[in-house]
Amino acid sequence: MTKQELFENIKRKKSFLCVGLDTDIHKIPDYLLSEEDPIYTFNKAIIDATAPYCVAFKPNAAFYEGEGIKGIWAMEKTIEYIRTKYPDQFIILDAKRGDIGNTSERYASSAFEKMKAHAITVAPYMGEDSVKPFLKYQGRWVILLALTSNKGSQDFQLMEDANGERLFEKVLKKSQEWGSEEQMMYVVGATQGKMFEDIRKIAPDHFLLVPGVGAQGGSLEEVARYGMNKQCGLLVNSSRAIIYADNTEEFANAARAEAKKVQAEMAKYLSQLS
């Protein structure tokens, strides 16, 4: 999917919501546990319920790997389900990968050829040759960690050099030598508020994947105010607040209502785009 296509989907659906599929077998409604594949059954219902209100889905690899082979299988089927039934949805494999070149190549082929995701999240610590193998795939995306939503983002990401440039700013600058805004996005946490202004100075045109709205406490209004650009430039993710909105047979309807509520707020901010 190209940047322009993503923007067209955002305008058409009046939404820049990404629904995070952090599907935890211990948190889904009990009655689903008798299904042959409870995780996949849960995901299908969530996807069908929320697809009208979002433009992206983000399966979080940790939750599937945690269930071993059955979990991996559920993740593969989930991505396949989205791809075939909702081909306009942008699929992000949230995996935070990154290793030496020959190893990153394998992670890339796994994400893009086996799993057929559109994008994968990548950690920048190991530098250029750990990221570049992911950039070789035409039409696929690297979403590089820049300034994350968690408390630990303060431990190293805010480190300053002698000129006052911070690590996350170096990541934003340096990585633009490796790939363009047509194939790279950045993770910036919704909890970072005004820092979006600093980020937009360095990466005015990139899309940002923004986790941390909902359970983590970030403000959608602030993110839109400080982070939006002419092509929206935001994919705001919500996982727990949507997929676990209810724990009964009504879980999918509750997820739909929650996604619809977020979408309605997003429509308001999008209407301010010239």
**Binding interface with its own copies (CB under 8 A):** 22, 24, 60, 62-63, 65-66, 68-69, 72-73, 76, 94, 96-104, 106-107, 109-110, 114, 123-131, 145, 148-157, 159-162, 167, 170-171, 174, 211, 216
Q: How many CB atoms sit inside 10 A of residue 156's CB?
A: 11
Beta-bridged to residue 186, according to DSSP, are 144, 208
**What is the spatial distance between Cα 247 and Cα 31, in angstroms, rounded to a whole number?**
10
- Nearer of residues 162 and 274 to its own copies, judged by Cβ: 162
Shortest Å, Cβ 10 to its own copies: 25
> Where are the alpha helices (H) located in the chain, listed in sequence order?
3-13, 38-50, 61-65, 68-85, 101-109, 128-131, 153-156, 167-175, 195-202, 220-227, 240-243, 251-270
Q: Are the CB atoms for 87 and 79 separated by under 8 Å?
A: no
- Name the amino acid, one letter, at 149: S
Catalytic residue status for 170: no
Exactly one of 14, 77, 96, 170 is catalytic; name it: 96
| C-alpha closest to that of 54 among 3, 6, 102 | 6
Shortest Å, Cβ 96 to its own copies: 5
- Nearer of residues 161 and 221 to its own copies, judged by Cβ: 161
**What is the spatial distance between Cα 111 and Cα 105, in angstroms, rounded to a whole number?**
10
Beta-bridged to residue 213, according to DSSP, are 218
- Nearer of residues 8 and 127 to its own copies, judged by Cβ: 127
269: which DSSP letter?
A: H
- Nearer of residues 51 and 92 to its own copies, judged by Cβ: 92
Shortest Å, Cβ 232 to its own copies: 24
- Nearer of residues 110 and 229 to its own copies, judged by Cβ: 110
Which residue shows structure tokens 């952090």? Answer: 22
| C-alpha closest to that of 13 among 117, 72, 88, 99 | 88
Shortest Å, Cβ 133 to its own copies: 10
Shortest Å, Cβ 110 to its own copies: 5
Q: What tokens does 11 get?
A: 């305008």
φ, ψ of residue 119 to 5 degrees: the values are -150, 155
Q: How many CB atoms sit inside 10 A of residue 185's CB?
A: 24
**Active-site positions?**
96
